[in-house]
């Protein structure tokens, strides 16, 4: 941002501006369908619980 003259403290604002259309679309979908209970899908890890450490030179 410095290269184009925008103060670096404005980064969060510019970050949010680019995402606002998506946030608004999600909010609109949730308001139009109140029976939909999930606003964010849950992610569940299904991999192995524990694994032994393997040193880098043995991988």
Question: Mean pLDDT, to the nearest integer, of 2-11?
Answer: 91
Identify the pLDDT of residue 30: 85
Specify if 48 maps to a domain.
Answer: no
Looking at the structure of the chain, the number of domains it has is 1
Specify if 2 maps to a domain.
Answer: yes
Domain extent, residue 6, equals 1-33
Specify if 46 maps to a domain.
Answer: no
Specify if 26 maps to a domain.
Answer: yes
Nearest partner of 11 among 3, 1, 21, 19, judged by Cα = 1
CB 28 within 8 A of CB 36: no
Structure tokens at 29: 């979908």
- Give the three-class secondary structure for 12: helix
Confidence class for position 18, pLDDT limits 50, 70, 90: very high
Which residue would you say has higher pLDDT here, 21 or 42?
A: 21
């Amino acid at each position: 941002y410095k290269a184009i003259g925008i103060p670096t403290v404005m980064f969060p604002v510019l970050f949010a501006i680019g995402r606002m259309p998506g946030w608004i679309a999600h909010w609109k979908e949730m308001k139009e369908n109140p029976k939909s209970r999930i606003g964010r899908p849950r992610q569940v890890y299904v991999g192995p619980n524990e694994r032994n450490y393997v040193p880098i030179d043995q991988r």
